[in-house]
Structure 1
Amino acid sequence: MTRLDMYQVDAFTTELFSGNPAAVLVLDDWLGEATMQSIAAENNLAETAFVRRGRDGWDLRWFTPVHEVDFCGHATLASAHVLARELGIKGPYSFETRVGTLRVSEGDGAYQLDFPSFPPEPLGDVELPEGLSATPIVAAFRNFENVFIEIESEAALAEFVPDHQKILRLQPLSLVVTARGDEHDFVSRYFAPHAGIPEDPVTGSIHATLTPYWAGKLGKNRLSAFQRSRRGGRLGCELAGDRVLITGAAITFMKAEIYLP
């Protein structure tokens, strides 16, 4: 029997039971893909992160309850937090991932994530399902993994009721709904039912596209963002050339020991 330590971290928050929970396992080497997927399904969190030592830093992979994904922000933040706070490994941290090198540094009680910028792209041949939003859609665009729609206000975003059957028609893409914020520069919500995530509490990766979008629309490169889910989470965002810098806090909820045959 193999025993492994696993941590659960609430990301993009300073308070337990808010932000986005992610599980993190720091490994000597990858487990079999089926085993990693089974652990993620057992956890039933939006993401379970697996980290191992790499040649020039760390290798990082993310699994939803359904499949492995290309890009995840909150579980990257959670992974850096586990290395820093639980294992005492000093940063900055460099993670090799499917979307390239992601860097995380720590300071002033928070973490700064250095991600590639994925500017908004035209929808192309993607068709929005009729009646996707009950309020007027101001703009629609996409990146490599999501469709984004901007709607008219934060109030409309808070009242948005996802029709998961219509959102499933977008797969393999997921849906991001965004609006100008009342107290923040912009707000958002994220839905990925095909990945086993009806609504994600706080999604770092989508801000690699939302940041250049809203920076262009609002005419400034430093923005405050809030993901308006039930748990909620705050993100500081900065467009820095072809990179997006995202700042957020994290807190450990649990350390567990898991047993594998």
Structure 2
Amino acid sequence: MSDVEVEVVRVFTCGGAGGNPCPVVADAGTLDAGAMQDIARRYRHESGFVLPPEDDTHDLRFRFFVPNHEMEMCAHATIGTLWVLARRGRLASAPVRIATVSGTVTGFVQAHDDGSWRVEITQPTGRVVPLASERVDTVCAALGISRDALADLPVHNAATSRVKTLIPIRWPEGLHALAPDPAAVEAACRAIGSTGLYPYAVLDGPGRTFEARQFPRSSGYPEDAATGIAAAALAFGLLHDGTVEPDDRRILIHQGRAMGHLSEISVRIGFAGDRALGCLLGGEVAPEDERGSANEGSFK
């Protein structure tokens, strides 16, 4: 196999720091699924791969892998990959129509005056389903907390792309103190039909600012510094509960503070009258110093 360049970026940075690392392969046409997963295993992060479109209704096709499996959709990898393509002058059209396993995603790339770019992507209207009481007990046990740690809001399974479990924690300090066992998280997620536990707390209700953490079901690592589709699901959960007003003002979700990688994710819900149509999910991206070549070891 010829050399394959892997560029690592940090997605959903906050003040130019933090964010979630994302390896990107901008030319993945020579890679099969096994090679893509090997790259994700090597870098230990969700990874994005750019492929030619298979039809004339899309501009690009993306695939996504974590160390343990392929994902149908990864929001932060989509944003990071679009940012890499924009920096390389590879985006000929705006908006960009992207084919993913979960369906079509539209990307919007806006240039800043300093030559950098801000990226937003579409997500469909969220589905929000409150958990039954016994399922809430399962979630609390997995997190190692009692019900007293919960805020007076429902626990939901919610999704725009993949199901995440939204768990309202009474205080940010309680959120930061969580230290669940990954095996318990995986067992709970499988029992309740979720791909990750997403506990959150309100930082500034009127300012629509929240703090969250993501404990994935089986991605190959215990916690995620920024999870775009979980943040999108949270926005619709907040709307469902009346925690945010039904308008298109930006909702900000901070994530990764407990990991030392503070991230900031922006969600804007769109409406037709009183009906939510979907959302725009976005954030800032920064280059990582690390670059690599996938032509060594298992990548041959």
Paired position in structure 2 for 1:218: 244
Cα pair distance change 1:258/1:166, threshold 3 Å: closer
Mapping of residues 46-195 of structure 1, within 5 Å:
47-54=46-53, 55=55, 56-90=58-92, 91-107=94-110, 108=112, 109-123=117-131, 126=135, 128-129=138-139, 131=141, 132-134=143-145, 135-138=148-151, 139-143=154-158, 144-172=162-190, 173=194, 174-182=196-204, 185-192=209-216, 194-195=218-219
Distance across 1 between alignment mates of 2:236 and 2:119: 20
Whether 1:5 aligns to 2:5 is yes
Q: Which amino acid aligns with 1:111?
A: V
Q: Retained in 1: the 8 A contact 2:120–2:281? A: yes
* Superposition deviation, residue 37 in structure 1: 1.2
Q: Retained in 2: the 8 A contact 1:13–1:19? A: yes
Of the three residues 242, 245, 248, the one matched with 2:280 is 245
3-state SS of the aligned residue for 1:39?
A: helix
* Superposition deviation, residue 231 in structure 1: 0.1
**More moved, 9-18 vs 142-151:** 9-18
Paired position in structure 1 for 2:264: 234
Distance across 2 between alignment mates of 1:227 and 1:28: 30
* Superposition deviation, residue 185 in structure 1: 2.1
3-state SS of the aligned residue for 1:212?
A: helix
Cα pair distance change 1:53/1:14, threshold 3 Å: farther
Deviation string 1:166-199 (CA, Å, 9 cap, x unpaired) is: 2121244321101111475222100115211211
Q: Which runs of 5+ in 1 are unaligned?
A: none
Cα pair distance change 1:16/1:141, threshold 3 Å: same
Length-normalised TM-score, structure 2: 0.78
Deviation string 1:107-159 (CA, Å, 9 cap, x unpaired) is: 24411221113232133685624533425223211134322211112222122
* CA-based RMSD: 2.3
3-state SS of the aligned residue for 2:37?
A: helix
Paired position in structure 2 for 1:209: 233
Percent of paired sites with the same residue: 23
Cα pair distance change 1:95/1:158, threshold 3 Å: same
3-state SS of the aligned residue for 1:42?
A: helix
Distance across 2 between alignment mates of 1:150 and 1:197: 23
Distance across 1 between alignment mates of 2:139 and 2:232: 25
Q: Retained in 2: the 8 A contact 1:171–1:194? A: no
3-state SS of the aligned residue for 2:26?
A: strand
* Superposition deviation, residue 80 in structure 1: 0.4
3-state SS of the aligned residue for 2:127?
A: coil
Cα pair distance change 1:184/1:83, threshold 3 Å: same
* Superposition deviation, residue 161 in structure 1: 2.2
Q: Which amino acid aligns with 1:181?
A: L
Whether 1:19 aligns to 2:19 is yes
* Superposition deviation, residue 17 in structure 1: 5.5
Which one has a bigger Cα radius of gyration?
A: 2
